[in-house]
Amino acid sequence: MSTTDTTDTTPFIKVSVLGAAGGIGQPLSLLLKLNPHINELALYDVVNIPGVAADLNHIDTDVKITCHMKSKSADSNSNESLNESLKNAIENSNFIIIPAGLPRKPGMTRGDLFNINANICKELAEYIALYSPNSIVLIISNPVNSTVAVFKEIFVKFNIFNPKKLFGVTILDHVRSNTFISELIDGTLPNHYNVPVVGGHSGHSIVPLFSQSNCDISNLKILNDENILDSLIHRVQYGGDEIVKAKNGLGSATLSMAYAGNKFFNIILNGYLNIKEIKISSYIYLDDSIPGIIELKNNLKILLNKNNKNIKIPEFLATPMTFDLNGIKNVDYTWVNKMNHKEQEMFFIAADFINQNVEKGINFVHS
Ligand SMILES: NC(=O)C1=CN([C@@H]2O[C@H](COP(=O)(O)OP(=O)(O)OC[C@H]3O[C@@H](n4cnc5c(N)ncnc54)[C@H](O)[C@@H]3O)[C@@H](O)[C@H]2O)C=CC1
Ligand SMILES: O=C([O-])CC(=O)C(=O)O
């Protein structure tokens, strides 16, 4: 290859995965190692990361793997306990993807993970604020409805919060909606469906908008049967439980999450590199500075008033959007006025849940 060609303006892309030795972290890192746009993949964990990095290093793609494991001394509470590994893992990263934290066991809700995972998120957020404040941050760690609020509050504390660059990863709900509707119809071509999902990422906070799918499935006879539609919606809202039960104590969704996380990352990267604009939902802070947010809030306000609902518009919401070099390009608010009555009722319930989950995240940071 020529070394004299100076016309290549493609930026150097560094991606960091925090929690890379875990059930999601490993397959996600494998998929990222195959990505032709990535130059460096920094893998960080508190255990087992040298083996994962060595293994991935044998793959003959151009992505350079760097390995970062938290050292024992970084665990102490002394002033000298700077976590150099974490600092090195995230410095100069364009994207930081975070699947660090405990997964559920049968009988647990995502909310039951809050105490442990919020503490993990706190350390990671503080390091990102100090050493990689301009990166785009994708949070997978549950409970997403609350952990994203933890990140936001810490970023605000450090005065580095950029609402266009902080994402809760909720795309698995969209992936499941596409798969489950396909199964219900004829089991073919699940990824030809494109079901928008709004709200949050747990149980009744998840609102799949089947009436707004790209394939006109709202006209399908099958969905006119209220029982079939209800069980489809329930399956999407509680898809995570299906996996937790099947894994029987050995964790929650990992492979489908790695697939979904990689899909979301690629959609953002396509916008970032100006290759292709694709619309997808993510759980974000509804900051008025983001194009489309004022319209989204106005439409939600009108909807709530019209239905005499005394519900606060959530500060965070999964909503469809597009991406560019700065993170979020544009938020799509048009789904609000296209919701049918059933979807509106689901949204009101979701908003109530999200408000409680967000409050938990905010209180954790300020207590
Ligand atoms: N957003 C979503 O749609 C989904 C989210 N999840 C969540 O993702 C998280 C990870 O799930 P799994 O990979 O299955 O769990 P896992 O237990 O297999 O892996 C978690 C990894 O995080 C690491 N870790 C723990 N503390 C850490 C710290 N302080 N810094 C860096 N890494 C640390 C662990 O060592 C482990 O390797 C869970 O909270 C789970 O609930 C899971 C599926 C879907
Ligand atoms: O259910 C869980 O705990 C993991 C998760 O978020 C999902 O699979 O959607």
Whether the pLDDT of residue 256 is over 80: the answer is yes
Q: Could you report the per-residue pLDDT of 108-159, keeping only the tens digit for each?
A: 999 999 999 999 999 999 999 999 999 999 999 999 999 999 999 999 999 9
Q: pLDDT band at residue 304, thresholds of 50, 70 and 90?
A: very high
CA pair distance 214, 257, nearest whole angstrom: 23
Cβ–ligand 2 distance for 15 under 6 Å, the answer no
Please report, for residues 134, 141, 285, 346, the alpha-carbon distance to residue 137 in angstroms, rounded to integers and kept in the order given: 9, 12, 13, 29
Cβ–ligand 2 distance for 252 under 6 Å, the answer yes
Q: Tell me what ipTM this predicted complex has.
A: 0.99
Please report, for residues 44, 127, 305, 315, the alpha-carbon distance to residue 297 in angstroms, rounded to integers and kept in the order given: 38, 32, 12, 10
Least confident range of 116-120, 221-225, 281-285, 287-291: 221-225
Cβ–ligand 1 distance for 163 under 6 Å, the answer no
Q: In this structure, which ligand is nearest to the CA of 236? A: 2
Sorted by where each starts, the structural domains of the chain and their CATH numbers stand as 14-168 (3.40.50.720), 171-366 (3.90.110.10)
Least confident range of 174-188, 280-294, 320-334: 174-188
pLDDT mean over 234-240: 98
pLDDT mean over 196-205: 98
Which protein residue's CA is at the shortest distance from atom 6 of ligand 2?
240
CA pair distance 305, 311, nearest whole angstrom: 9
Q: What is the pLDDT of residue 3?
A: 47
Q: Which amino acid is at 11?
A: P
| 170 vs 73, higher pLDDT | 170
